[in-house]
A = this chain, B = another copy of it.
Amino acid sequence: MSALRVRIRAGGAARPATARHSLRIGVPQRPWSSASARPFHKDEPAAPILKTKIPGPKAVEAVKQLDRVFDTRSINMMADYTQSVGNYISDPDGNMLLDVYAQIASIPVGYNNPELRKIAQTPEMVDAIINRPALGNFPSHTWASVLESGVLKVAPKGLNNVYTAMAGSDANEIAYKAAFMYRRQQERGGADVDFTSHEIESAMNNQSPGSPQLSILSFKSSFHGRLFGCLSTTRSKPIHKLDIPAFDWPQATFPQLKYPLDQHTEENAKAEQASLDEVEHLIKTWHLPPAAVVVEPIQSEGGDNHASPAFFRKLRALTRKHNVLLIADEVQTGVGATGKFWAHEHWNLEDPPDMVTFSKKAQTAGYYYSSKDLRPNKPYRQFNTWMGDPSRALLFRGIIGEIERLDLVNHTAKVGRYLFDKLSGLASKYPDHFQNLRGKGQGTFIAFDHPRRDEFLAKAKGFGINIGGSGANAVRLRPMLTFQEHHADILIEALEKVVKTL
């Protein structure tokens, strides 16, 4: 083992893997020697490094210390970010795992990315950190250019305005608020029609008509966040919802496609049509009429459930027909991982969604919207103290810079095809372990089901892989955008080792 020394950090001392504890996983020592796989992160180890079982003694101690003051029961792995690099997450015991979970799909361009490090040290960033504005009242004179050169540079086609937010869940909630205000404005007869005194009084008492009897329609097994409004649209797992009061809003069945898709064309089309019929029925009949339908391009927390572009095109037409807004929740699917910058680009819509919400890999949050009609008719209707965070908007601009510089959207489409093919091979060889493989043509946004999923995830750490689950049985792959073919090779080899032990 002592020959397998791995250079960990640029400019740092070589850190020899301690023979007694270290287990080096994966095949190629210099996988990027071929031109096709020149590494984006030149300081990554050539392969995962295991020095202890996970959690190791230092991690156990750190969890114990943290538990005194912070809820630690959901800890997956104690991390050491100072030692993490690129696609590799480190822990306090010196283990380095290939990370295809990436902070629940939220790290875009690698740990300790040198370009982001530069941006974090700019005077502009320092200024944004220490002088945080109330953006709605006192924006900086540079805010327009920060938005235009960053957040809005990647605005979905046709959606050229933005409200910024803090995280995915409040991005969804403020999009819902915009939908309700828009709907009521239409019912009222336009932007110029004032509120009635009855509306004003009843709103202060949380009663209709001021607090309207309207809803947001979502899909079964969807996830849109865990604040009270978005949680009312989240239908992923009971543990997310139990004991929390919720609005009586409607849910439609999301198509449950069968795999492989090409062997179930007809029944999948039927499932999609049944779902659309249910949506239309709920729009027409639900006692609290929907102001909007919210949908994830790929249901992520709910188990990586896909539907066809045709389904989404019909959903757009249906919502348009009934004058209901369509919100695409791209919090998890957005920013490149599906091989398009926005996953809804796969739908080839002529008429874009009315709003697209984003967060996670953007490292900031908000919603894009299609027209100024969706700006509430008066100031202070969509407002809060911070309304986002310029420091995070600067970071997103840097992330966009990295995506452009390295052509990471096209790259992810390509490496996704490579990875999907390899996984198809595993699925043929181990059909019981790689069920319902899905995400073909969706970049690296790939998943499969495993009957003993939680065991699968836990065992993967022992083979140097940090990997996550979703829904009841899905193993979901959420690598960063800088995940490359040599990482895919390491991953595939490790996954095969995992299933051999199960």
A contact set with B: CB distance below 8 Å: 58-59, 62, 65-66, 68-82, 84, 89, 91-92, 103-104, 106-107, 111-113, 116-117, 120-121, 123, 125-127, 129-134, 136-141, 143-145, 147-148, 152, 160-164, 166-170, 173, 176-177, 180-181, 183-185, 195, 199-200, 203-207, 210-215, 225-230, 232, 235, 238-249, 251, 288, 359-360, 363, 375, 378-386, 391, 395
Contacts and interface: CB of A to CB of B under 8 A. Distances in A.
Contact of A227 (B73, B123, B228, B245): B228
Contact of A106 (B80, B91, B181, B385): B385
6 contacts: A65-B145, A69-B147, A81-B133, A103-B134, A173-B228, A227-B229
A144 B245 contact: no
Given A131-B111, A238-B195, A137 B246 contact: no
A80 to B, nearest CB: 5
Given A238-B195, A242-B195, A130 B120 contact: yes
Nearest to A394: B129
B206 A232 contact: yes
A230 B199 CA distance: 20
A288 B138 CA distance: 40
Contact of A242 (B120, B203, B385): B203
Contacts of A169: 170, 384
Given A74-B379, A125-B129, A177-B244, 18 more contacts: A70-B147, A70-B162, A75-B138, A81-B140, A106-B385, A107-B132, A120-B130, A121-B126, A129-B395, A132-B363, A180-B243, A181-B243, A204-B235, A206-B248, A211-B245, A214-B245, A239-B378, A391-B391
A62 B141 contact: yes
A228 to B, nearest CB: 3
A138 B79 contact: yes
A162 B69 contact: yes
Contact of A117 (B126, B152, B166): B126
Contacts of A145: 65
Contacts of A77: 137-138
Most B-side CB within 10 Å, residue of A133, A249, A363? A133
B104 A238 contact: no
A256 to B, nearest CB: 16
Contacts of A89: 138
A242 B70 contact: no
Which of A162, A166, A235, A395 has its CB near the most chain B CB atoms (within 10 A)? Answer: A166
Contacts of A123: 82
A103 B78 contact: no
A461 to B, nearest CB: 12
B129 A120 contact: yes
Contacts of A170: 166-167, 169-170, 227
Nearest to A106: B385
A384 B386 CA distance: 20
B106 A136 contact: no
A58 B141 contact: yes
Contacts of A139: 66, 70, 72, 75, 78-79
B62 A144 contact: yes
B384 A226 contact: yes
Contacts of A104: 134, 137, 385
Contact of A73 (B195, B205, B378): B378
A341 to B, nearest CB: 18
A391 B125 CA distance: 12
B131 A211 contact: no
Contacts of A199: 242
B143 A383 contact: no
A58 B70 CA distance: 47
A80 B141 contact: yes
Contacts of A180: 243-245
Given A79-B138, A141-B92, A166 B168 contact: no
The 5 closest A-B pairs by CB, nearest first: A228-B229, A73-B379, A206-B246, A211-B246, A66-B144
A131 B84 contact: yes
A136 B204 contact: no
A464 to B, nearest CB: 16
Contacts of A76: 137-138
A214 B244 CA distance: 9
Contacts of A378: 73, 239
Given A76-B137, A132-B363, A242-B210, A379 B71 contact: yes
Contacts of A244: 177, 180-181, 203, 211-212
